[in-house]
Amino acid sequence: MRLILLGAPGAGKGTQANSICEKFRIPQISTGEMLRAEIKSKSQLGLAAKKIMESGQLLEDDIIIQLVLKRLTSTDCIEGYLFDGFPRTIPQADALETQEIFLDIVLELTLDDEQIINRMSGRRIHQSSGRSYHLEFNPPKNDGVDDITGEPLIQREDDMPETVKHRLQVYQDETKPLVAYYQTQESKSPLKYIAVDGSQPVEKVFEDIEQNF
């Protein structure tokens, strides 16, 4: 099972990725999480990525493609994987084709901008695992701490309202064209394109995903 989760910032990709990966026993390959890990370790890539991510811009395609191709050489990817936040541009999608990496499912989570802004303002994350919560819609069992480790939750630097607006614009300009890109591919390959209404409660979104697989 190789699949892509497409959707605007805050559409719930990370949230649904957890359930999908658990069910299919495949790793989640989130380029956002990988980059946040680089920032945390203060690597050269992390230092370069920090400013770009905080401003809501995308990193250069070549950097991201290299990062992903290296990740795919890990043994845990043999049975499949889920891409979360990758590909995010047409050249990134083209790179998968060039490498003859073919996909089974492209799953789009749809949501309108107003709901996205609400979700981002209430999001809190567990830094080391990337698990995300929402103060109102998806609260942790105990206030302010991760359900599994009990460690404190933090707010992401790029979840400030102005940055969120910019990220949404970048999504429209750079990533949204991938919807048409994969819809066109569906007709000439075994790939299945699915769109699920991401505005529903977390459990209902997952139910719809399961029904469509």
Closest separation between CB of residue 187 and ligand AP5, Å? Answer: 25
- Helix count (H) and strand count (E) of the chain? 9, 7
Instruction: Determine if 53 is a binding residue for ligand AP5 (CB under 6 A).
Output: yes
Please confirm, yes or no, whether 167 is among the known catalytic residues.
Answer: yes
**Binder among 7, 10, 12, 14 for Mg ion (CB under 5 A):** 14
8: nearest Cα among 146, 118, 170: 170
Binder of residue 131, out of ligand AP5, Mg ion, none (CB less than 5 to 8 A by kind): none
24 within 8 A of 1, measured Cβ to Cβ? yes
- How many positions of this chain bind ligand AP5 (CB under 6 A)? 36
**Binder among 123, 146, 193, 209 for ligand AP5 (CB under 6 A):** 123
Q: Cα dist. 124→121, 195, 202 in Å?
A: 9, 26, 16
Long-range interactions of 188-194: CB distance < 8 A, separation 24+? 189/102, 190/102, 190/104, 191/102, 191/103, 191/104, 191/105, 191/106, 192/104, 192/105, 192/106, 193/105, 193/106, 193/108, 194/105, 194/106, 194/107, 194/108
Instruction: Determine if 119 is a binding residue for ligand AP5 (CB under 6 A).
Output: yes
Instruction: Determine if 52 is a binding residue for ligand AP5 (CB under 6 A).
Output: yes
By beta-carbon proximity to ligand AP5, the closer residue of 23 and 190 is 23
The residues that touch Mg ion, with contacts defined as CB under 5 A, are 14
The residues that touch ligand AP5, with contacts defined as CB under 6 A, are 7, 9-15, 31-32, 35, 52-53, 56-59, 64, 85-86, 88, 92, 119, 122-123, 132-134, 137-138, 158, 167, 200-202, 205
Q: Which residues are catalytic?
A: 13, 88, 123, 156, 167
